[in-house]
Structure 1
Amino acid sequence: MGPLLAAGGLTGVAAWQNTYALREEKVSLRHDGKLLEGVLARPARGEGPFGLAVFVHGDGPIDATHETFYRPLWESFARAGYASLSFSKPGIGGSQGNWLDQSMKDRADETLAAVAWARDRPDIDGRRIGLWGASQAGWVLPEVAARDRRLQFVIAVSPAVNWLRQGRYNLLAELDRDGATTRERDAALRRRQTTLRLLERGASFGEYRAVVGDVDGMTAARWRFIARNHRSDATAGLRAMRGTPLLLVLAGHDVNVDVEETEAVYRALLPPASLSVAHYPDATHSLVDHDVEGSDWRLTMTAVFAPRRLFAKGFLTDQARFLERLDPRTGVR
């Protein structure tokens, strides 16, 4: 009986810790001839109209909740009076299409369609709609903000600036992390240069495979996605969105993105009055606490029994405070 009671108690704790002060509604949007399915997460109380954060995903096959990873963020926004809207990527979680067929411009068009959809809802305040995006979203957020000057804010978490420079940085950072030898490092850089030459001349996946041999998990669809997007650069969009309040979130243990370059470019291109920068020295690229992410056991236990503690200290409350500082009448701090 004792073990059963203990198991029941742990199950109860897990259920309690994964219950959020939110009202989630399944929603759908038809865009470019395809149906996208998602979630609108509103604050637990009140009828609104609420402000809204439209979520823009990073790389990969991500569903609307990011396998529940987003819910602590949605709850933090709800405390500031904001709902959250997130659609599963095409081909994921009931959404039609294939996200690997998208360019960054396609993703920006999709995000603008989500904003337009939200503005038609009576429970959403059209003056208080903004964007939240992470990682690869760094090539989407500036373009959307430049094209929709009514957006109230942008929160950019671990964004890169230039696709090619980001790729080189990521490669070298991972080699350093894994203790690669000089020979291994040189071989990886030669392979990268070969890949770039193939991309520049529009080589097919078959040509890539014939040249490199071991494709290391690359698929034809992924190759086409990279070929379509490898010239992505955020600088033009950043220049064009000048004035939109932006919170730049940077992690101290980011092997994916050169955070020093990102911060320097954002500071150079955006007016100081519109830019806020938040540093989390103990965070990884995903803003998960570095020590937690570094241990499979701790990561699993934290995700199940204390999901809000996955994130670096202060990250969730700082998101809410940024929104609370925005003036709902003018959209400026």
Structure 2
Amino acid sequence: MRQQQRDSAVHWVAWTTLLLGLTFSVCSPGQEAPSATPVPWSAPASVSVVEEERTFENEEATLSGTLYVARDRKPQSAIVVTHSAAAAQRDLPLYQHLKQMLPALGIAVFIYDRRGSGKSGGDLRTSDYAMLADDAIAAVRMLKTDSRIDSRRVGIWGLSQGGWLALLAASRSSEPAFVISVSAPLVTPDVQMMFRSINSLRVHGYPQAEIDQMIATRKAVDDYMRGSGDRATAQRLVDAAKIKPWFKLLYMGETVTDRATSRWRKEIEFDPLKTLEGVKIPALVIFGAADPVVPVDVSVKRLRAAHPKLDIAVIAGADHAMQLSVPVQVQMDPARTLEEAPQAAEYFAILASWLTEHALTTSIGR
């Protein structure tokens, strides 16, 4: 019965999503925006959206973001957005679908610049996953003070590392009411980065000998960070690798930092699967079946074994950012990461149907 209800919701949401695209407008702070090219036959939009600058505090830092909220739609739920590792600021194509789709469904969206970037204070270099998750919790808490927001229905959406942070925030606090994690690898960061690096060199046509050199380099750095290898050996291998044209594809630094202060050492000690043990709220975990960045098959198997009742969706043909038509070489190019934007209709439908199923949406005109 639940599957039938979900299938029905998917069909309804698919049509709703398409129709809403014809009636949506994003506005300047506190104002409604006119049509970019007014025409004699234009009509008032069913949904108008107010765009507001907001700030909040956490760990002695002031963070800044933008709230997108439907006008005259009370009370409404809300979503706080957490960033991927490569993304840091609010104005990215990746978030355009959230700003366009969710306010029209009665869900406000808040996207803030990650600490130490854009208009947000703080220093990313001195932070860790816990602090970044607490930033999201503080944003949830701030939204709950807005009279237009239903304080019982504020959650978190995140992609990639942001998906980890969304789950971590839900395990650390009772403030979020729900969580949506997209393309978050449910393996440790060192396993995920090795998977990504191997695929990156493969799709760019490098021979196995070069891939083996990269694997040895990454392994030496990770072994040192775990305490089972030495720093000099790791640095020697990094020095040999950094002159290679493929080094720029790895997201690796040219200097092996002291493990006592290394951010990477702290990251590889984090197993996101364990985080889910503390998640007691509704959670949706979404993957792309064709993701070259995340070991999806391993992640899903681990997830289903540990949490068989969790809502999991794997989107056919979708990559890491829920795209369908981007060449894999482009997907693996660090310089193109900030151009990512979802395309998969199945992702949009599942996202909206899950939100509807959990009573987080509001019908048009209400």
Q: Which TM-score tier does this pair reach, normalised by the shorter chain?
A: 0.7 to 0.9
Please list, as runs of the form range in 1=range in 2, the aligned pairs for 1:147-158 lying within 5 A after superposition. 147-149=172-174, 151-158=176-183
Find runs of 4+ consecutive structure 1 residues off by over 6 angstroms: 202-207, 292-296
- What is the deviation of 1:220? 7.7
Give the structure 2 partner of residue 26 of structure 1: 53
The amino acid that maps onto 2:297 is E
Aligned match for 1:108, one of 130, 133, 139: 133
Match of 1:8 in 2: none
Shift of the 107–295 alpha-carbon distance from structure 1 to 2, 3 Å rule, reads closer
Deviations along 1:69-89, whole A, 9 cap, x unmatched?
Answer: 312222221232110111101
Offset of 1:316 from its aligned partner?
2.4
- Alpha carbons of structure 1 residues 222 and 103: separation in structure 2 relative to 1, 3 Å: farther
1:241 is aligned, of 279, 282, 297, to 279
Q: After superposition, what is the alpha-carbon deviation per residue over 1:129-163, rounded to whole angstroms, capped at 9, x for unaligned?
A: 11101101233222211223353321110011221
Q: Distance in 1 between matches of 2:302 and 2:49?
A: 36
Measured after TM superposition, the shift of residue 91 of structure 1 is 2.1
Q: What percentage of residue pairs aligned between the two structures are identical?
A: 22
Match of 1:229, as an amino acid?
A: E
Gaps of 5+ in 2: 1-34, 38-44, 332-337, 362-366
2:359 to 323, 327, 331: 327
Checking the alignment, whether the CA contact within 8 Å between 2:89 and 2:112 is kept in structure 1 is yes
- Per the alignment, do residues 312 and 230 of structure 1 end up closer, same or farther by CA in structure 2, a change over 3 Å counting? same
- Find the aligned partners of 1:222 and 1:102 in 2 and give their Cα distance: 19
User: Structure 1 counterpart of 2:147, which letter?
Assistant: P
Measure the CA separation in 1 of the matches of 2:256 and 2:291.
23
* Deviation at residue 276 of structure 1 after TM alignment: 2.3
Note if contact 1:133-1:157 (Cα within 8 Å) is conserved in structure 2. yes
Contact 1:77 1:83 (C-alpha < 8 Å) held by counterparts: yes
Alignment of 1:16-165 (within 5 A): 22-43=49-70, 45-65=71-91, 67-149=92-174, 151-161=176-186, 162-165=188-191
- Aligned equivalents of 2:97 and 2:177: distance in 1? 22
| 2:214 equivalent to 1:188 | yes
Structure 1 contact 61–99 (Cα < 8 Å) conserved: no
The aligned residue for residue 10 of structure 1 is none
Q: Give the Cα–Cα distance (whole angstroms) in 1 for the partners of residues 133 and 345 of structure 2.
A: 31
Secondary structure of the residue aligned to 1:89 is coil
Report the residue type matching 1:165 in the other structure. Answer: V
Change (3 A) 1:97 1:27: same
Residues 141 and 156, structure 1, Cα contact 8 Å, conserved in 2: yes
In structure 1, the residue corresponding to 2:66 is in which secondary structure? strand
For normalisation by structure 2, the TM-score amounts to: 0.72
Give, in whole Å, the separation in 2 of the partners of 1:62 and 1:15. 29
Check conservation: 2:50, 2:69, Cα contact below 8 A. yes
Contact 1:58–1:135 under 8 Å retained in 2: yes
With the length of structure 1 as denominator, give the TM-score of the two structures: 0.79
Residue 26 (structure 1) shift: 0.7
Equivalent residue of 2:266, what SS?
A: helix
> Contact 1:30/1:36 (CA < 8 Å) preserved in 2?
yes
Partners of 2:74 and 2:184 lie apart in 1 by 31
Shift of 1:128: 0.7
Q: Which amino acid aligns with 1:125?
A: D
3-state SS in 2 of match to 1:29 = strand
| Worse overlay, 167-176 or 82-91 | 167-176
Distance (whole Å) between structure 2 residues aligned to residue 254 and residue 96 of structure 1: 33
What is the aligned-residue RMSD (CA, Å)?
A: 3.3
Cα distance change, pair 285–222 in 1 and its aligned pair in 2 (3 A): farther
Does structure 1 residue 286 correspond to structure 2 residue 321?
Answer: yes
Secondary structure in 1 matching 2:158:
strand
User: Is the 1:52–1:129 Cα contact (8 Å) retained in structure 2?
Assistant: yes
1:212 alignment partner in structure 2: 238
Give the residue type in structure 2 aligned to 1:99.
L
Which residue type is aligned with residue 251 of structure 1? G
2:335 is matched with which residue? none
- Report the Cα distance in structure 2 between the residues aligned to 1:71 and 1:129, rounded to whole angstroms: 19
Residue 318 of structure 1 corresponds to 350
Distance 2:176 2:144 in 1: 11
User: Is 1:260–2:297 an aligned residue pair?
Assistant: yes
